[in-house]
Amino acid sequence: MRSLVGSLLLFTSLAGAATGAEVDWTAIGAEATEMLRDYVRVDTSNPPGNEIAAAKFLAERFAKEGIESRVFESEPGRASILARLPGKGGGKPIVLLNHLDTVGADPSPWSHPPFEGVIDDGFLYGRGSVDCKGLAVVEAMAMFAIARSGERLQRDVIFLGTADEETGGKLGAGWFVQNHLDLLDGAEWVLNEGGHGRRLEDGKLVYEVGVVEKTPLWLKLTASGPAGHGSTPRGTSAVERLVRALERVRTRPRDVRVVPQVADYYRALAPLRDEPLRNRYADLATALQDQAFREEFLARPEDAALVQSTISITVLNGSEKTNVVPPQASADLDCRLLPDETPEQFLAELRSTIADDEIEIERLVELPPSASTTDTALYRAIEQVAREDGAAVVPNVLRGFTDSHYFRSQGMVVYGFVPVVLTDEETRRLHGVDERVPVAELGAGTQRLVRILRALD
Ligand SMILES: [Zn+2]
């Protein structure tokens, strides 16, 4: 009896798969919403992370679907999870990447508690509801939907949820790539955060796909000088030396240039804009030669950061006492390099700007350049789905960085694409107060991802 029911079910689901009508997307949406609500309740604020709780939560869900998973701990409590949905063996696996940790949340300014997953007016509120628990749920549900349909894709689909992304990923993606890269079985493509469907204010739909990230280079400048009493300034103290250097950094002439990926980004945006922006975005380098437009463009920090390597002066350290002249003073610089510039070139220029050989420059964080070509079947699959949805695909350049560089350094193509559609209002809340995801997008996003995976087949 049992086997008969089993084979009948198998038969109907296979027949369904052939027609492509096998999945009840409304039910999937409801289930995704419930899963995200429960997942948001697993607090993985980093620090401390405690991603093991998230890994166990997900492992249980995968087990229920009959999908094998494995949990890894890089340090006690700092866990990552890998689950694999086997394909027919045609083509290398595709990795659906997400991270298990979130940034913290002080509940007081939130309209709903950040770790309860409250649903209000069509939105699910909670820390991680988009970044990155929302993405994880959509990726997992896409695998569940395919598994349940009985359909087998050509390639394996690998779900990889990692620890520690919010503080740099060393105990998560970094650790995984170093120790278990072989488990990805030669995967050539990775989908990660770093781009998403975007509903513009005029209603137009854009699928932003992250293909390049600016290269972070974090530096510490340290100046030294005679220590002494604050009552007797000598004009040669470490603090004064540092302040002079920082002023030269702050007022340095800017090297504004349009690298090819940034030109592509604005060119893709051009048709979505009205004149005169349409014309200017179509050829940004030429447009920037016009002084009035250049000033207007550079006055917007988001745009300005895409046409120059930037420096933010962030941490400052001097004396701990008002009346003590310290022997040392230091400042941290958060530098983000355009993809055509090496750290060595950047540092040489910085040294000449500072023009003080006695100021030491230490590299705190240095990551490799992080870029992927758009000339792949995966990119074309996203384009195909976008066309069906009436959306334009825009190859995005990220000012910030994600875990993508760990995989790009291994030769994999990584795209930042969270397949849910957000307005800029939602995007502004990431890492901030009242992070939320439109509930309808959980089912829609799952379906979009399944369509991308099928388009690859
Ligand atoms: Zn994230």
CA of 380 to the centre of ligand 1 (A): 25
Pairing of strands 228-229, 360-366: unpaired
Distance between alpha carbon 316 and the CA centroid of its chain, in Å?
28
Q: How far is CA 454 from CA 139, 213, 294, 450, in A?
A: 14, 28, 43, 6
- The set of long-range contacts for 56-60, using a CB threshold of 8 Å and a minimum separation of 24, is 58/83, 58/100, 58/136, 58/140, 58/159, 58/161, 59/83
Output the CA 164–ligand 1 centroid distance in Å: 10
What topology is assigned to 215-366 in CATH? Alpha-Beta Plaits (3.30.70)
**77 to each of 47, 53, 163, 178, how far by Cα in Å?**
11, 8, 9, 19
Owner of token pair 């620890």: 163
Q: What span, in angstroms and rounded, lies between the C-alpha atoms of 376 and 452?
A: 13
Query: How far, in Å, CA of 429 to CA of 417, rounded?
Result: 18
Number of neighbours of residue 148 by Cβ within 10 angstroms: 16
Q: What is the CA(35)–ligand 1 centre distance, in A? A: 18
Complete DSSP assignment for 156-211: -EEEEEES-GGGTSTTTHHHHHHHHGGGGTT--EEEEEEEEEEE-TTS-EEEEEEE
Q: Tell me the CA–centroid distance for residue 190 and ligand 1, in Å.
A: 15
Cis preceding linkage at 132, omega within 30: yes
3-class secondary-structure state, position 35: helix
pLDDT (tens place) for every residue of the chain, 457 residues total: 344 343 344 433 443 344 444 789 999 999 999 999 999 999 999 999 999 999 999 999 999 999 999 999 999 999 999 999 999 999 999 999 999 999 999 999 999 999 999 999 999 999 999 999 999 999 999 999 999 999 999 999 999 999 999 999 999 999 999 999 999 999 999 999 999 999 998 999 999 999 999 999 999 999 999 999 999 999 999 999 999 999 999 999 999 999 999 999 999 999 999 999 999 999 999 999 999 999 999 999 999 999 999 999 999 999 999 999 999 999 999 999 999 999 999 999 999 999 999 999 999 999 988 999 999 999 999 999 999 999 999 999 999 999 999 999 999 999 999 999 999 999 999 999 999 999 999 999 999 999 999 999 8
In degrees, rounded to 5, the angle at the alpha carbon of residue 450 between the alpha carbons of residues 444 and 455 is 125
Q: Separation of 387 CA from ligand 1 center, angstroms? A: 27
422 CA distance to ligand 1 centroid (A)? 15
**CB 136 within 8 Å of CB 58:** yes
CA 298 to ligand 1 centroid distance, Å: 27
Residues 15-214+369-456: name the CATH superfamily. Zn peptidases (3.40.630.10)
Give distance in angstroms: CA of 103 to centre of ligand 1: 9
Contact 137, 61 (CB under 8 A): no
Determine how β-strand 189-199 pairs with β-strand 94-99: parallel
User: Which token pair is 401?
Assistant: 């960085």
**What are the extents of the domains in the chain?**
15-214+369-456, 215-366
User: How far apart are alpha carbons 92 and 96 in whole angstroms?
Assistant: 13
Q: Determine the distance separating the centroid of ligand 1 and the alpha carbon of 193, expressed in angstroms.
A: 6
Q: Compute the distance from residue 116 Cα to the ligand 1 centre, in Å.
A: 19
Q: Which helix (H) or strand (E) holds 446?
A: helix 440-456
Contact 455, 231 (CB under 8 A): no
Q: How many angstroms separate the alpha carbon of residue 398 from the centre of ligand 1?
A: 13
3-state secondary structure 337-351: ECCCCCHHHHHHHHH
Query: How many angstroms separate the alpha carbon of residue 403 from the centre of ligand 1?
Result: 9
Print burial letters for 76-101: b (CB count within 10 Å at least 16), e (below 16).
ebbbbbbbbbebeeebbbbbbbbbbb
Neighbours of ion ligand 1 (CB under 5 A): 131-132, 193
What is the pLDDT, as a whole number, of residue 201?
87
E strands within 200-257? 205-213, 215-224, 228-229
In angstroms, what is the span from residue 363 Cα to ligand 1's centroid? Answer: 24
Ligand 1 midpoint to CA 145 (Å): 24
Distance CA 446, CA 263 (A): 31
- The alpha carbon of 223 and the centre of ligand 1 are apart by a number of angstroms equal to 35
Q: Which two tokens stand for residue 414?
A: 């990584």
- Cα 182–Cα 183–Cα 185 angle in degrees, nearest 5: 70
Helix (H) or strand (E) holding 87: none
Peptide bond into 47 cis (omega under 30): yes
**Residue in the structure block whose two tokens are 């109907």:** 12
Tell me the C-alpha distance between 154 and 439, whole Å. Answer: 31
* Tokens coding 69: 């998973």
Compute, in angstroms, the gap from residue 91 CA to the centroid of ligand 1. Answer: 28
Q: How remote is the CA of residue 131 from the centroid of ligand 1, in Å?
A: 4
| pTM greater than 0.75 (yes/no) | yes
| Token digits of residue 78 | 């700092």
Task: Extract the tokens encoding 264.
Answer: 């592509």
The pLDDT tens digits for 132-187 are: 999 999 999 999 999 999 999 999 999 999 999 999 999 999 999 999 999 999 99
| Residue 301: half-sphere exposure toward Cβ, Cα within 13 Å | 4
For residue 7, what pLDDT is reported?
Answer: 39
Distance between Cα 56 and ligand 1 center (Å) = 19
